[in-house]
Amino acid sequence: YQIKGLLYEGKAKKIYETDNPDIVIMEYKDDATAFDGTKRGTIREKGIVNNKVSNHFFKLLESKGIPTHFVEEIDERRTAVKKVEIVPVEIIVRNIAAGSLCNRLGLEEGIVLKRPILEFCYKNDALHDPQINQYHILALELATEEEVDRIVEYSFKTNQVLREYLKEVNIDLIDFKLEFGRYKGNIVLADEISPDTCRFWDVNTKEKLDKDRFRRDLGNVEEAYKEVLKRLGL
């Protein structure tokens, strides 16, 4: 692909246009932010890890029947993906209580939930991504009812696939965030699935292998990201 102009720069990624109107290039940066952008830093080679991990998961999910934006890995930091219109809703799936769920509901971190929880947030920086529900999504026309049904179906399926897969490499999938896009009229899984957007705990030691090491200054941040790569055989 012939790379053209920069289309968008976010906190962790840059998106470039290409000569193909249906394809864009995602480039993963090492920049890290947390707590609504108030904490900033760099995690060395995070971009390389996230690119590889995310592509590995997207290929796995495609093979299990979940459509994604993945096209092909270009190099260690860049991937060609379908140019989608992002649905302005973040989906969070939780298996074990952690993070904001503990703060909101007064739960102890690590409590195993009776069944997975699915949450929606409105993607809006100025409003700090407020939590919403399916009624808000339909009332504000953020997505259609058919799209919401697809998003919910793909989110739970993604949880099932990734949870079982990660268990094999001794990682518990605590929770994660997904984004979806529209491509030629269909809902496809987009953005990334990486240690930046998931909580991964070692099954035995409960050691955190994700961005919480950065958020909470736990040390060995780069090492944790690399450990995820290693366990996935990448």
Helix axes 145-167, 46-63, angle to 10 degrees: 110
Answer for which of 83, 208, 211, 213 binds ligand C5P (CB under 6 A) is 211
116 binds ligand C5P (CB under 6 A): no
Residue 94's CB is within 10 A of a number of other CB atoms, namely 20
DSSP E strand stretches across the chain: 3-9, 13-18, 23-28, 31-34, 39-42, 70-73, 78-82, 85-96, 112-122, 131-132, 171-183, 186-190, 198-202
Question: Which candidate, 49, 78, 41, 86, places its Cα nearest to that of 189?
Answer: 86
129 binds ligand C5P (CB under 6 A): yes
Residue 123 or residue 136: which is nearer to ligand C5P going by CB? Answer: 123
Residue 109 or residue 222: which is nearer to ligand C5P going by CB? Answer: 109
Three-state secondary-structure class, residue 60? helix
Residue 16 or residue 214: which is nearer to ligand C5P going by CB? Answer: 214
Structure tokens at 208: 């955190």
132 binds ligand C5P (CB under 6 A): no
CA distances to 52, 67, 209, 230 from 48, rounded to whole Å, are: 6, 23, 16, 13
User: Site map for ligand C5P, 171-210, x if CB under 6 A?
Assistant: ----xxx-------------------xxx-----------
What is the footprint of ligand C5P within residues 73-112 (CB under 6 A)?
90, 92, 98-101
Residue 23 or residue 229: which is nearer to ligand C5P going by CB? Answer: 229
Which letter, b or e, does each residue of 101-136 get, where b requires 16 or more Cβ atoms within 10 Å of its Cβ? beeeeeeeeeeeeeebebbbbbeeeeeebeebebee
Determine the Cα–Cα distance for residues 234 and 229; give it in Å rounded to an integer. 5
Residue 110 or residue 186: which is nearer to ligand C5P going by CB? Answer: 110
Pairing of strands 198-202, 131-132: unpaired
Phi and psi (nearest 5°) for 132? -135, 175
Q: State the minimum distance, in angstroms, from the CB of residue 10 to ligand C5P.
A: 11
Q: State the minimum distance, in angstroms, from the CB of residue 1 to ligand C5P.
A: 27
Residue 100 or residue 186: which is nearer to ligand C5P going by CB? Answer: 100
Q: State the minimum distance, in angstroms, from the CB of residue 121 to ligand C5P.
A: 7
Residue 130 or residue 219: which is nearer to ligand C5P going by CB? Answer: 130
Q: State the minimum distance, in angstroms, from the CB of residue 210 to ligand C5P.
A: 7
* Residue 103: strand pairing partners: none
Q: State the minimum distance, in angstroms, from the CB of residue 48 to ligand C5P.
A: 18
Please give the size of the binding site for ligand C5P, defined by CB under 6 A: 14
The residue ranges that bind ligand C5P (CB under 6 A) are 90, 92, 98-101, 129, 175-177, 197-199, 211
